Structure 1
Amino acid sequence: MNNPVVLDSWLCGLWDEGRKFQQCKGIHSGPVIIFASGPSAAQFPLERYAHVPFITMNGAIARFSQTAARPLFYLCDDQGFVRERRQLVLEGIRLSSHAALGANALKVLMQASPDIVEMAKPYLMLRVNRPLSGTPLSDRQFAWNARGNAELECGFSLFERKPNRIGFSRNMALGYFGGRTIPYAAVQLAFHLGFDHVFLVGMDLNAQAGRFYEQADEALPSRLDDDYKDYILPSFQLMAKRVVGENFQVFNLSIDSRMPTTVVPKIDLAQFEALLARS
Structure 2
Amino acid sequence: MLSTILKLVYRHSHAAKWRHNERLWPHARIERDAMGAIERFTWRGRHVPLARRAELQRLRRLPCHIIASGPSVAEIDYEALPMHHVMGVNGAIALSAHAPVKFDYYCILDAGFVRQRPDLARRIVARDLVLFVTPVVLARLLDMFPVSALGCRFYLVDDIYKRGFEAARTTRMLRDDAQISASASFLGDDSEIGFSFDIDNGFFHGGTVAYFALQVATWLGFTEMYMHGLDLRDASHTPRFYETMQTRAPTRLDAEFANLIEPSFRHASQVLRLRGVRVENLSPASALGEDIFGKVDWRSLRRRNLSLVMPDEALPVAAVGSVAVDAMPTLRPTGTHGHA
Q: Is the 8 A contact 1:24 1:193 kept in 2?
A: yes
Partner of 1:149: 181
Partner of 1:232: 261
Q: Is the 8 A contact 1:50 1:68 kept in 2?
A: no
Q: Is the 8 A contact 2:163 2:202 kept in 1?
A: no
Range moving further from structure 2, 40-49 or 198-207: 40-49
Q: Is the 8 A contact 1:77 1:125 kept in 2?
A: no
User: What per-residue deviation string (whole Å, max 9, x for no partner) do you get for residues 81-128 of structure 1?
Assistant: 111101201211223421122222212111111425765341113111
Q: 1:83-122 residue pairs with structure 2 within 5 A?
A: 83-116=115-148, 120-122=152-154
Paired residues in the alignment total 272
Partner of 1:130: 162
Q: 1:57-96 residue pairs with structure 2 within 5 A?
A: 57-96=89-128
Range moving further from structure 2, 246-255 or 87-96: 87-96
Unpaired stretches in structure 1, ≥5 consecutive residues: none
Q: Is the 8 A contact 2:51 2:155 kept in 1?
A: no
| CA positional deviation for 1:6 | 5.3
Q: Which has the larger radius of gyration?
A: 2
Q: Is the 8 A contact 2:70 2:241 kept in 1?
A: yes
Please give the secondary structure, in 2, of the residue aligned with 1:260.
coil
Q: Distance in 2 between matches of 1:117 and 1:175?
A: 28
- TM-score, normalised with respect to structure 1: 0.87
User: What per-residue deviation string (whole Å, max 9, x for no partner) do you get for residues 177-212 of structure 1?
Assistant: 110111111111111111111001111002122201
Range moving further from structure 2, 127-136 or 257-266: 127-136
| CA positional deviation for 1:222 | 0.9
Please give the secondary structure, in 1, of the residue aligned with 2:125.
helix
Unpaired stretches in structure 2, ≥5 consecutive residues: 7-23, 41-49, 310-340
| 1:114–1:12 distance in 2 versus 1, CA, 3 Å | farther
- TM-score, normalised with respect to structure 2: 0.72
Partner of 2:47: none
Q: Is the 8 A contact 1:35 1:55 kept in 2?
A: yes
Q: Is the 8 A contact 2:162 2:168 kept in 1?
A: yes
Query: How many percent identity over aligned positions?
Result: 25
The one-letter amino acid paired with 2:216 is L
Q: Is the 8 A contact 1:252 1:265 kept in 2?
A: yes
Is it true that 1:36 corresponds to 2:68 in the alignment? yes
Q: Is the 8 A contact 1:172 1:192 kept in 2?
A: yes
Range moving further from structure 2, 120-129 or 225-234: 120-129
| 1:224–1:146 distance in 2 versus 1, CA, 3 Å | farther
The one-letter amino acid paired with 2:57 is K
Is it true that 1:212 corresponds to 2:241 in the alignment? yes
Match of 1:169 among 179, 196, 212: 196
The one-letter amino acid paired with 1:194 is G
Q: Distance in 2 between matches of 1:264 and 1:257?
A: 10
RMSD across aligned positions (CA): 2.6
Q: Is the 8 A contact 1:86 1:109 kept in 2?
A: no
Q: Is the 8 A contact 2:127 2:151 kept in 1?
A: no
Q: Distance in 1 between matches of 2:250 and 2:113?
A: 10
